[in-house]
Each structure stands twice: as structure tokens, then as C-alpha cells.
Chain A
Amino acid sequence: MITVSQLSKRFVVSRRKSGLKQATKSLFHREREFVQALDNVSFTIPDGQVVGYIGPNGAGKSTTVKILSGILTPDSGECDINGRTPWKQRREHVAEMGVVFGQRSQLWWDVPVGDSFDLLRDIYRVPENRYRANVAELTERLQLEEILRTPARQLSLGQRMRCEIAASLLHDPKVLFLDEPTIGLDAVSKLAVRDFIREINRDRGVTVILTTHDMQDIEALAQRILLIGKGRVLLDGTLEQLKQQYGRGSVTVSYSGGEVQKLSELEIVEQEPGRLTVSTDGSREDTARVIAQLTAALSITDISVKGPDAEEMVVSLYREYRV
């Protein structure tokens, strides 16, 4: 159980214009500015949930993850993860956490991945039998057999990411933070990673908090979405709810004849001779209604229907909240 209430964090940034002259000037006189990274953020996450934590760059996602994992101390607010405050009982807390930073590695560059795993076993004091069982299971599920004997520097990104995820699960964490786990991966690796995260959540009941910009990750994994922007929680709900509220669909038809004027009550998005795109609210009923009207008015040669698209939805969300 993760309970976060009224979390706030402010950073001091010193700014200066580019250029040598400005750089010299800033040596003596600094313009300091405060950036409110988090502003009264509150939410609760029950055990075993997969939460997609989304928001544009600089919204405060990473700051939240860093506070929840005990790296940063917030200015105010409280946080309770399985009965502990991360920044106060850091060591006890992180023993039950796994963190994957997609852009940073936790593996030793020059030694085989297996050696890195052995070191993690000793750092986390994982009992030998648990460790063996975990390595065996992870090796099988993520197909690490060959890779374990390779130095990390010789791995491809996809292989490395699989190792990173395995490395963060060796000590049976209860909570797993994934920070852009599929960044830069090819389609096959992405699917493999997603499937694996889903399995781990199902079989071990690990709570997963996923920050990503890849909406397909969210669609495939997240049972719930938290949207954050400018340091505030803007939305909290399931993807389905979001789609109902903010999703837009569309119907595009090509036609050979008919009376377009008759369609005045429909919302036309795009129109060119012989081709028409009409927007819907994304629900099945509305789509059916629009298609019926279109077929009544026009002689249609081709038709295509598009449902709500997560990517576009997020764009319109960001726009609506001006984040």
C-alpha cells in the first residue's frame, strides 16, 4: 500500500543567458529561481496494482519516483509505503524496492552480467536458495541463458534492458518502479518486456509504477492512470474512463456521389472532393449513428473507422490542461 499526501518539492535553479560574458557575470551574481517540481501531490495505490504515471517532460514524474524511492527528501508532505517513510527509513525501505531507470544502467560494465547479479545478491543479502530460484525463473522467462556470461558492455539495448529488469527483481521487491523501461527498444523487445511485466505483476503481486511516454506501454499494462502536470495530479482513473471522457474517434469515407449538405449536424473534421472525415465521441453507439447518417446521405465506396487513440488523447489532455 502506497499512500502519498500533500507532497511538495521545490528546486533552486540558477539561470543565466548563454555566452561567455554572461557566464563570467554569473560567477559573481547569480539569478536564482525556484521551480515547484511537486505541488501538493496526493494519491493512494493499493498492493498489486499497475499504475501508469504519465505527464509531459518536466512535469515532476521523476521527482515523485525519486522521493518515493528515498533518494530525495521532500520539502513537505507525507508518504507511507508499507508502513515506512522512504527518506527516513531509507535502508529498510529500499530493501523492498526494485527500480529500473531505462536510461541508466545498474550493471557493471566490464564483467559478465552474472557477476553483477552475484554482487546484488550480497548487497541485498538474498538467501542463497531464493537467489537461485529467482535467477532460474528470470533466466527462463527473459531468455537470459546466453547473456549472463556476457559483459554488459557487449549487450544490445534490448538484452541489457531485460537484464536490468531481472537485476531489479532478484531480491523479491514488493514495489517496482519502472522509469521508461521500453525506451529505444525494437518492437520485439518491447513486447517481451511488456509481457514480462504483466506476468510478474500477476504471479508475484508486485505493485508496479510505470512512467513512460509510450502510450502503448500504458495501454498494454496500466490498470490505472495518474496524469501529472506542472507538479499537480491532474487526472486519476482507468484508461477506459479516460477514453470515455477524452477519447475521440473518427469515421472516414470515400464516396462517389450524394448530398454532403444533408450532413450538417455531423462534426466534419476534414473534407476534400470525394473524401470526408467525421469525428465521433469514440463510443460504439455514436459511431453507429454517424455511419448510418453517412450511408443514408452518400453513396460510399470505402469506409474506415478509428477508435480513440491513446496517443492523441494524451495530446488533447495536455492541451486542455495547458501542461
Chain B
Amino acid sequence: MKLYAKFFSLHLRSVMQYKSSFFLMTIGQFIMAFSAFLSVWFLFDRFYQVDGFTFQQVLLCFSVTLMSFSLCEGFFRGFDTFSYTVRNAEFDRILLRPRNEIFLVLASKIELSKMGRLLQAFLVFLYAIPTSGVEWNFQRVLVLVLMLLGGVCVFCGLFLLYAAICFFTIEGLEFMNIFTDGGREFGSYPMGIYGDGILRFFTFVVPIACFQYWPLLYLLGKNESLWCMLSPLVCIVFLLPCWAFWRFGVRHYQSTGS
């Protein structure tokens, strides 16, 4: 952790070499996320309700997804851009250090400009908590925390998977973005509204629904079952196969260049 703080401060100092670029990027990220927010808003301006969810309830879901995604994108950036790391053999260097390679990839890139998006998510979050009509009690706050944690786990797992594929293809595979960026866009709304097939896919294969749709039902008192309450834990389990695949990839790493 101390070492991570060191890396963090170096990243911060590097970024501060280009101050105006940094601030423009952050503002840009904020505006980009804002457009996603607007699209939700315009939709509700028309329809008032989607599949029984009110505007504020959808916003709660939207902000949880966006917040966990931007946390991941900021701190797991090293995995998102991993194809470059593999292609210019930067990963050789990482393997030459006597530390865990996941940690080093994690620390190799910290994208502070993604904080613009995080800030946006946080503001929406603050607005949605009191207005969503949830009767807050201890369990429900706990579930909300679990939702965020689960979201971070799912996106981290996806980034890790994406990075591990780079070991075999060298190039990154754009189709993975369906799950990462796509997951974020999809995840703006509770997964239930897309129908059973998609809900099942996003529950059992890529457990995005497990940190938003199911626990959201619990929060709103629509379904008080234990499954709905603890479904974010599935997201943590999702990390295991991703990690195993990463280990498999590292062993097949082929390096490039002289």
C-alpha cells in the first residue's frame, strides 16, 4: 500500500507537468459522462417510468454503475491499455521487478483525469440516495456498499480478462469493449428492463446485474429474498476465473522485439 502511494505521487507529479492538459481532460470526462446522464433524463421526461422504476431509482442504478466503472477505469487503467504494454515489451520490465505483476501493472498507470467522471457519478449518487424512495436502514446501506464493491469487482475482472487476452493476440480485442464500455451503458438502467435472456446473461455469465438489478430490487423492497441481498458477492467470485486466466496468460507471455 505504501508503495502504491509512492507510485500515486509519481503519477500525480507526472500529470502536473502538463497541468492544463490534465484539467481539460478532466472537464472533458465530466461532460462526456454528463451526456449519458442527459439521455436518461430526456427519456424520463417522456415516459416517467421504465418497467416500474422511477427516474430517481434509475439514477441510483446509473450512478452505482458509473461510479464503479470510473473507479476501475482510473485505477485499473494499466489493464485497459495493456495491449500497448505488451506490444512495446514494457511488460518485460514489469516481470523484472521483484513484486507481484498484477500490482505493478495496476500501479503503472493511474488515470487521474477519470476523476471527472467519478465526480459526476458521485453528484448523481448524492441526489439519488434521498430521492429514490428507499427506506434506508442498516442492511440497505450495507447492500449499497456491496453494490459498489461488486461493481468495481466486475469491471476489474473484465479489464483483467481483456488484458490476459492480449498475451495471446498482442493486439487488444475490441469486442471486449462490449462488456466494459457496453456494460457501463447497459448498466445505466436496471438490467431487468431488457428482458429475460439478457438478464440471465448478465447474471450468470458477466454478473453486471448482480450489482445493480438484483440488489436494487432489494433496496426498493420489491424483492426481499436473501439472494437479492447478497447477489453482489457473486461479483467478487467473478474475479477468480479472471485471475486464473491472467495467470495462464502470464505463463504464455512471448515478449516482443530484441
Contacts and interface: CB of A to CB of B under 8 A. Distances in A.
B97 A94 contact: yes
A92 to B, nearest CB: 7
A111 B99 contact: no
A104 interface: yes
Contact of B96 (A11, A92, A94): A94
Contacts of A172: none
Contact of B98 (A72, A73, A92, A106): A92
A103 interface: yes
Contact of A72 (B93, B99, B254): B254
A108 B255 contact: no
Given A11-B254, A119-B6, A94 B13 contact: no
A257 B171 CA distance: 70
A285 interface: no
Interface string B84-114: 0000010011011111100000000000000
Contact of A104 (B2, B6, B93, B99): B93
A69 B10 contact: no
Given A104-B89, A122-B3, A70 B10 contact: no
Contacts of A221: none
Q: How large is the interface on B (under 10, 10 to 19, 20 to 34, 35 or more residues)?
A: 20 to 34
A73 B251 contact: yes
Interface string A112-130: 0001001100111000000
Interface of A: 11, 57, 62, 66, 69-73, 90-92, 94-95, 97, 99, 101, 103-104, 106, 108-111, 115, 118-119, 122-124, 151, 179
Contacts of B99: 91, 123
Nearest to A211: B258
Interface string B216-258: 0000000000000000000000000000000000010111011
28 contacts: A62-B258, A66-B92, A66-B255, A69-B95, A69-B96, A71-B92, A71-B95, A71-B253, A71-B255, A72-B254, A91-B98, A94-B95, A95-B98, A101-B92, A104-B89, A104-B92, A104-B93, A106-B93, A108-B14, A111-B10, A115-B10, A119-B10, A123-B3, A123-B98, A123-B99, A124-B98, A151-B17, A179-B258
Interface in B1-44: 2-3, 6-7, 10, 13-14, 17
A115 B13 contact: yes
B258 to A, nearest CB: 5
A98 to B, nearest CB: 9
A73 B89 CA distance: 16
A169 to B, nearest CB: 14
Nearest to B89: A104
A111 B253 CA distance: 30
Contacts of A91: 98-100
Contacts of A70: 95-96
Contacts of B6: 118-119, 122
Given A71-B95, A73-B251, A151-B17, 15 more contacts: A70-B95, A71-B253, A71-B255, A91-B99, A91-B100, A94-B97, A101-B92, A104-B93, A110-B17, A111-B10, A111-B14, A118-B6, A119-B10, A123-B99, A124-B97
A67 to B, nearest CB: 10
Nearest to A124: B98
Nearest to A11: B254
Contacts of B95: 69-71, 90, 94
Contacts of B97: 94, 123-124
Contacts of A108: 10, 14
Contacts of B251: 73
Contacts of A104: 89, 92-93
A119 B98 CA distance: 13
Contacts of B96: 69-71, 94, 97, 99
A57 B255 CA distance: 16
Contact of B14 (A71, A99, A110, A122): A110
Contacts of A122: 2-3, 6
B98 A94 contact: yes
A278 B93 CA distance: 50
Closest 5 CB pairs of A and B: A95-B98, A110-B14, A91-B98, A71-B95, A110-B17
Contacts of B255: 66, 71-72
A69 B97 CA distance: 10
A111 B9 CA distance: 11
B232 to A, nearest CB: 33
Nearest to A61: B258
A99 B13 CA distance: 26
A106 B90 CA distance: 9
A90 B92 CA distance: 12
Given A106-B93, A110-B13, A111-B14, A119 B258 contact: no
A213 B10 CA distance: 36
Contacts of B254: 11, 72
Interface string B63-102: 0000000000000000000000000010011011111100
Nearest to B258: A62
Nearest to B252: A73
Contacts of A66: 92, 255
A110 B13 CA distance: 8
